[in-house]
Structure 1
């Protein structure tokens, strides 16, 4: 069968697998461009001209029909094969299919997402009580599934539907994060259901092998460097002294300390633009208007010694509550602490809950952003684009990010944080 169109998605993403699984059971094929680079190509004009929000997954039909949002694409594909019964065989079954799709997307997935943000340090500071609350809600969802599946092979009927594929696509990540051996022992019907779905002959190649963890993953705080501390003389082992050794030798450090490695940014030529002065000006002045911090900035900025960058989070499709996204920015800033003397930032959450993006600007020492931001382990989760103030659109973006009135598309500034 000829492909019905082109599917743009993120490799190994649950929503992408869901769509491909539905396509396989509906006996339809789609093209998947080999050279498509997620988080890059979906920001280009040729993509956003068809999909204005720039989100993935996205589908473009041969007839020019364009569609985004994974659940909508999966449902559309299922509707193209009515004899597959993927959407149920009656209005009641169709409603139940929608019910279970929503259950997976709105009950299981969000709690799993929050837990992942906590475990991997994207949401700081870490709160064990919040982790426990999310885990409790997640387990409650598992209990609902377990009870329902205790008398059924599939969720809605005796044949596999979109509901089963959707729940399985959500559960796969859960099995790799929190659904450990004790939970599997308490939810055998859920495990049996999952294995039945993903091992369907047409689906095995899409879902692949699932890693079943033995113990739920937990947050591991970053290790703090241990400082060399002179030993406690009250506890130190006393060694006999040579007869000609003076008592004062106890205080002599016979092993010289290695000199601390110098940051290459410190070797850059001195600049008249003082980043600490700028931070104080920004904090104490109105941003816009005569005598404001922007006026101060333009009078003193040294474009030879400093550069300005736009910062965009790559995984906006994972963002949910605005305050959670704001916490994520705070966590990123915390992990940039080692570069505080070289960096100023203003970043914000634009949009509303479950429909937001993270964006902003950095002003930093030097012309290369990598030496400044790579101190944060998650720096590659962000896209950095140089801002040229000679460009009117770049300048507008920069000023709006500093004034916290930035708008991108239909999304307005909702919350923000500064790195000073």
Structure 2
């Protein structure tokens, strides 16, 4: 059979292995021209065919140009017949029915997003391609283990992932595990996943796949971060201190006169915050913040139940907050960052305030709203420390009113809905006004507290884009 086209790739890529394994089973051949990454993919003739400059890239003989490993592995020719992963009665790599094809696609995406992505992130951090962050390393490790657990359960009762024969799902999952056992899936973890290892052994030892995969390298211990060795600077010899001139004694009377003059100027007393002059309250705001962070929001024993049992209506009040200029809002993450900036500017009122605000709706059709719990009955002394406080509308909530109570609880539980607009992203102002994010994408370069698993927090420096935040 004549080659179906030219494949530009590097051997170490997981996607390259998937493409070559699929081609081997389907009996398809590729030309593999000499290729140097970061050089050839920047040349004008390459970019004319593949504008993103990404590999693997397939230049088909029929004029079709493709990138992305999954797309190449399923590419069709101009006659509507698969070039690589053909439907029965040929190789059957895409499954025998539409339902099977959907399952194959499901497992391919699962392997890439839940397991391989974590391996890649950890590899990039441990090898200096991005700044190392322990919190992200821990998150990626735990996310990957969750993926391993799910895959182990799936394979408990199955020889192959879809049906009773080899499919593209098996090839993709095996390729991902093949890489993981050499880097993150170490000996203690492997002992927990006999079904995953049995499946890997079955797939990579298929007669047509042995040469493509080769033999896996099993690590005894998962790769760990090694901090760079700091160079010790040689201490410069100390210069001898210059001799001090003898001090002249001042006349005793002059010293006494100076002391008298100083005592005549009293120190200016520090002005007390009027909120500190309020009668002592039985509601401890710090205890509430801890309850909110450590408990589920709704349900028996939740933080809302704690709040109603302990709230002091005389010493504290609850306010609804709405942004005045919602028509100016565009992308959700930008609106979310605006809330974070507002909370940061409330730093001077940190010990008098707790809040939960969010972005509701979608890009170019969203609003900002939320709720504040604050000391006293007047909102202004608490929020006027923020220069932009007048950009928001404040309305005192009556928790005896069903509508006000539902709004308050929705804002705290992050499931608030207003005029059909559902909660998309949110932030809490808390002990140190850290940014809280739950199952949302992050892009940041400052200290944040990432909120996951309802109300648990981990602090980290984020200098990269993380597109999933997962259970810690």
TM-score in terms of structure 2 length: 0.48
Partner in structure 2 of residue 176 of structure 1:
182
Please give the root-mean-square deviation of Cα atoms over the aligned residues, in Å: 2.5
- Contact 1:88 1:161 (8 Å CA) reproduced: yes
Name the CA distance, whole Å, in 2 between partners of 1:322 and 1:108. 20
Name the CA distance, whole Å, in 1 between partners of 2:63 and 2:115. 34
Residue correspondence of structure 1 range 21-420 to structure 2 within 5 A: 21-33=21-33, 35-76=34-75, 77-80=83-86, 82=88, 83-124=90-131, 126-227=132-233, 323=443
Name the CA distance, whole Å, in 2 between partners of 1:97 and 1:197. 15
Over 3 Å counting, the alpha-carbon distance change for 1:219 and 1:47 in structure 2 is same
Structure 1, unpaired ranges of 5+: 231-320, 328-347, 355-420
How many residue pairs match? The answer is 239
Partner in structure 2 of residue 5 of structure 1:
5
Over 3 Å counting, the alpha-carbon distance change for 1:20 and 1:227 in structure 2 is same
Deviations 1:31-71 (A, max 9, x none): 111x2222211211111111122211111111111111111
Instruction: Compute the displacement of 1:131 (Å).
Output: 1.6
Instruction: Give the ranges of 4+ consecutive aligned residues of structure 1 lying more than 6 Å apart after TM superposition.
Output: none
Deviations 1:306-354 (A, max 9, x none): xxxxxxxxxxxxxxx7848x89xxxxxxxxxxxxxxxxxxxx99xx988
Name whichever structure is richer in helix by fraction: 1
- Contact 2:86 2:94 (8 Å CA) reproduced: no
Name the CA distance, whole Å, in 2 between partners of 1:128 and 1:50. 40
Larger Rg: 2
Name the CA distance, whole Å, in 2 between partners of 1:162 and 1:204. 16
Structure 2, unpaired ranges of 5+: 76-82, 237-440, 447-462, 468-472
- Contact 2:87 2:96 (8 Å CA) reproduced: no
Partner in structure 1 of residue 334 of structure 2:
none
- Contact 1:78 1:162 (8 Å CA) reproduced: no
TM-score in terms of structure 1 length: 0.53
